[in-house]
Amino acid sequence: MFNRNVVGLSIIAIVAMTALFSNVDQAKADTAGAIKALYVTGGGWHDYVAQEPIVTEGLGSRVNIEWTIENEAGNRSDHWPERFKQEDWIADFDVVVYNFCITGTPGVEAVEGVIDQHVKHGVPAVMMHCAIHSFRADTLKWFHFHGMRSHRHEAHRAFKVEPLQSEHPIMIGFPEDGWQTPRGELYEIAEIYDTATPLAHAYGQDTDKHHEVIWTNEYEGVRVFNTTIGHHNETMRESVYLDLVSRGLLWSVEKLQDDGTAADGYAGAGPETVTIDEQQWHVLFNGRDLENWRASENEGVFSIENGTLIVDGPRSHLFYEGPVADADFDDFHFRAEVYTHPQANSGIFFHTKWQENGWPGVGYEAQVNATHGDRIKTGSIYGVSNVLDNTPHEDHQWFLYEIIVKGDQIILKVDGDTVMDYTEREDDIQGNRRLSSGTFAIQGHDPNSRIHYRNIYVRELD
C-alpha cells in the first residue's frame, strides 16, 4: 500500500533488525490503528529521492505506520511548501518526520507558524540530520523547538557514536560500546537548551570536542526526537540507524515501552532481510522469541532478554529450522554478535542436522570460549583445527563472529580479523564431521556457561 498520498507500508525493509521490530499481532494492530505520519522531505545537498524509500520503508517495517509524503520542495533549498501555508495542516497527523534541507524561508512568521501548529495540535516531531539547522530566519524558535542550536558541520568523515544514556528506552538495542558510522557529517552543536536530554555524542576531529548527535526535547508539551546522524545513504540504510529512529518515533508518540519495544499493536511486521555494508542478509533470529528454532534436550537453557538470546544451563543445542534456504545451507556467510561470561563455553555448529540428544554428530563446530578450562578457544574448528590457549576476544565484551564456507574452505573471523583459514582435507574427515550441507545450531555447553547471542544473520554465497 504505497502511493503519493496516505499510504500504509507492508514491504520487506531494506534494512534492519532488533527485538522491537518482530512480527506484529495483526488483531492488536487493527485495534490500535496505524500511526499517521507526515514525512516532509526535499531540499538541497542530499539525495532525498533515494532516502525517501530508505526512511519510509525502513521505519514502516519496524513501526505500524501510515505515511503521507510531502516532497513539494524537490531539490530546491529555498522552496516553502504550500502545505505550511494551510490552516491546521498538521491536524490529521500523529507525528511529523522532518528529513529535509530547506534553508530559505518566507521569514520569521512562517517558521514560527510551523512550530505553533505543533503546539496547537500537540503533534510531536522527528528531526533527522539537516532538519536540525534548516528554516533559517531571524528567530531561534526552531532551535528551541528541537532543543539545540547548530549552524555548521565538520568535514565529511565517519565518526563513532558513543551512548550517554544506554538505559533510556530509545537507546536500548543501540550498541553499548558505540557505533562507527559508515560515512559521516558531524554537526557542531553551538548551544544546548535546558529542555533537551542528550542520549549520545561523537567526537569531532575538526573542533576537538564532542558534539551531541542523539537527543530528545520537550517543547511546550510537545515531544521531539532528534538526530544529526544521516546525510549519506550508506549510513541511513544501516539497521542500527533505522532501529534508532524507529524507537525515537515511537517515543515521540508515547508508544515506546520502557524495555525499548513498541506498545501492543504498534510494531511493524519486521524485516526479513537487513542491509550491512550494502549486502543483503537474511535474519535468522528475530530477537523476540525462538520462532524457527528448536531446542534439543533441556529446552530451558535458551531464553530471550531485551532482544538477546541467552544460553545458560546444561547441555542443549538450538537448531535453526526456518524458511531461509529451507534450513539446508551449502556455501554461506554467517555472522552473529557474541558475549561471553567468565569460564563459559559454547559453539556454533554448521552443516549440521537435528539431533534430539547429545553433542551433534554431523558437521563442524566454531568454538566459543575465552576463559573456560578447555584449551580450545574461540576461532577453532573444534577438534579439527584448533586455536590453543590464546583467545582473540575478552569476556564481558561483545564481539562479531563470522563463519564463511565456500567449497572446501572454512574461514572464521572475530571483529573482522581472520583467525582461522582452513581447507578441508580427506585425512581430517571423521564420519559425518565434514562439509556437506545443513543447518546451524547454537550450543549450550554446561551449567556454568552463560553466553549471549544477538543479530544472527546469514548470506548465501553463489
**pLDDT digit string (tens) for 407-427?**
999 999 999 999 999 999 988
**348 C-beta neighbours (distance < 10 Å), count:** 22
Q: Each residue of 147-196: pLDDT tens digit? A: 999 999 999 999 999 999 999 999 998 998 999 998 999 999 999 999 99
Instruction: Please tell me the predicted confidence (pLDDT) of residue 79.
Output: 86
Length of the chain: 462
Residue 285, C-alpha cell as written in the block = 533470529
* Contact call for residues 114 and 84 (beta carbons, < 8 A): yes
Distance separating alpha carbons of residues 385 and 387, to the nearest angstrom: 7
SS3 396: coil
Geometric angle at alpha carbon 131, from 127 and 132, rounded to 5°: 80
pTM: predicted TM-score of the whole model, two decimal places = 0.64
Residue 184, C-alpha cell as written in the block = 559521516
Q: Each residue of 6-39: pLDDT tens digit? A: 333 222 233 333 444 443 333 333 335 799 999 9
Q: Each residue of 301-357: pLDDT tens digit? A: 999 887 789 999 999 999 999 999 999 999 999 999 999 999 999 999 999 999 999
